[in-house]
Structure 1
């Protein structure tokens, strides 16, 4: 009896030693996997990564059949979701949708679906109905997984959304989309903006601080650009006498623009749309243009000759939108009309004398846009003050566009069954491209203001 007990003890010791050695060398991995599968009812070889791949494939397979664009994984959204999902409450999907929209303002609309189950394969089946009806305009998705406290249930959150492109003139030109994502350079507020393609000239205003920070316009080919980029560096081969004063040279250029640019409204323009813009070279070749075309023509030439000049977009009295040029020479400010009158050196159009009814909304030169520093501020006739005008370089705007991070919202973790909600849509009209009053539109006949008793010389109507 004692011998038999000793034998069994030796065999048991050898078995334990062998098992310990096998476990140390990884020989029992298959047994561990089998045990975990037996306890949880889940295939342990089926990983979270494989689950996401299969889920995306299922959704895109349906979209391929419907000839819809395939959804892409959004790394930014995925990263945020991985950090936030462990503490998210899943019992209110509408609240989840609002959180996603607040955290990810780049998305025009999102659709959220949650599911819970004992295994990843079970979760995949729960997402079947949702994957059959994603909206055609959706572009990206992200998914996150977490285990319940006991480890017996897996929770999943799937987000499908329409991610917007960053705003830029090139994006407007290349895309048929109406909504874009932008960030205000004044107050850093991220927002969605909408483009009205019936308008060839558009001003972008922040919905929070109400300040304009970009103006774009389309040329005759339909290509959008920032308005200052219409000042292309025009420098015709003109020769000026060496002994000419700067003021005389100013009037010579002004007169040449008048002689070579007949005021003409854009042919075929509709009342509900603004017209296409021209570069200086376009205007010279055609010999015609409307107020902003001739103002660009005049300002571009003056800048090439070293003058301190800007194109101003704004209002003249109650006659509607208009465009003109302001120039500063020897501390004197001149207001030049490019469509009216005839330059008269004996009667220089000083801003202090003729500028009382001109109200500029926006100005620009080749490199920058100038907007009011304070929205709605009264106009006192100062075209050059840094206190009145804020200088913006439009191209630097593009580098400021970034993802917005709102304040963190807390949530309590709880179990949830499968939920589904209709896509929540943001109204991009809250932050639209607005047609600024200062951008030229149809208006009544406009005339150059002249001193009392002096006859008007050679005027042309401006509409």
Structure 2
């Protein structure tokens, strides 16, 4: 994820204003279409992972209103966009409440809520918390989405897909790392924001009361949890949102912070998987 620009698209028929987080797109020279690229990626996943399909469908219960935001509503709005427009991550307002959740297009060509990409997957059990990041460094290659998916700027992989797909960008790395750590009993979250001015996703893990910032795309093979940096000491990261399997948080204001807990964070919604 790189260089988000955030114009606001208004749909007067709905009580929401979805905000699209855009990234700079560099057009590839491949002749295949975006649909063919997504279909191919999905076939690779299906042929590699024999587990049952992970359920991503659900609703979002927004704090402050009894009317949940269903996935059908999100997909109805997204369906009115072009394929290129719908490739961007969307931040959703609902019933007068701003930035209550996010959605992104997956390998199945549909938009799903951000929480739903954390499907409860761990490749294997380990007692060493540094092993998931070490495994990512060895196994998964970093590649921009627009190069992998024929110009589409933002396609997300579930945590299971991210393990079996050889390549992925920052969201894919972060989703797999966070979900794996959650399965190991860690309070881990995917953080969305910028790194040195460019759109980015990373992981924050809370262990023994300390907040650690984990750069999921790092290819350094750290074989010790003590080598992981404290979030309070990590420069260049500007977080805007964070989520885990169940909840979505937004900052209370635009003041930069290196703390991922506290009054400056508002729990906006809860994801209920159906």
Q: TM-score, normalized by length of structure 2?
A: 0.66
Runs of 4+ in structure 1 off by over 6 angstroms are 206-209
Separation in structure 1 between the aligned mates of residue 103 and residue 117 of structure 2, nearest angstrom: 10
> Which secondary structure does the structure 2 equivalent of 1:303 belong to?
helix
Choose between structure 1 and 2: higher helix proportion: 1
Q: 2:51 aligns to what?
A: none
| Alignment map for 1:51-450 (pairs within 5 Å) | 168-173=70-75, 178=80, 197-205=85-93, 211-240=98-127, 249-266=128-145, 267-270=148-151, 273-318=152-197, 320-344=198-222, 345=224, 347-353=227-233, 355-374=234-253, 376=254, 378-385=255-262, 387-395=263-271
The CA RMSD over aligned residues, in Å, is 3.0
Q: CA deviation at 1:275?
A: 1.7
Is the CA contact (8 Å cut-off) linking 1:178 and 1:196 kept in structure 2? no
Separation in structure 1 between the aligned mates of residue 250 and residue 77 of structure 2, nearest angstrom: 28
Q: CA deviation at 1:176?
A: 7.2
Separation in structure 2 between the aligned mates of residue 306 and residue 251 of structure 1, nearest angstrom: 13
Q: CA deviation at 1:205?
A: 3.9
Is the CA contact (8 Å cut-off) linking 2:69 and 2:94 kept in structure 1? no
> Which secondary structure does the structure 2 equivalent of 1:393 belong to?
strand
Q: CA deviation at 1:254?
A: 1.4
Structure 1 gaps, min length 5:
1-104, 109-165, 180-194, 241-248, 397-463
Structure 2 gaps, min length 5:
1-11, 16-67
Higher relative contact order (CA 8 A, sep 6+): 2
Is the CA contact (8 Å cut-off) linking 2:156 and 2:172 kept in structure 1? yes
What are the superposed Cα offsets for residues 377-422 of structure 1, whole Å, 9 maximum, x if unpaired?
x12311011x1111133447xxxxxxxxxxxxxxxxxxxxxxxxxx
Size of the alignment, in residue pairs?
205
Choose between structure 1 and 2: higher strand proportion: 2
Q: 1:112 aligns to what?
A: none
Larger Rg: 1
Q: TM-score, normalized by length of structure 1?
A: 0.40
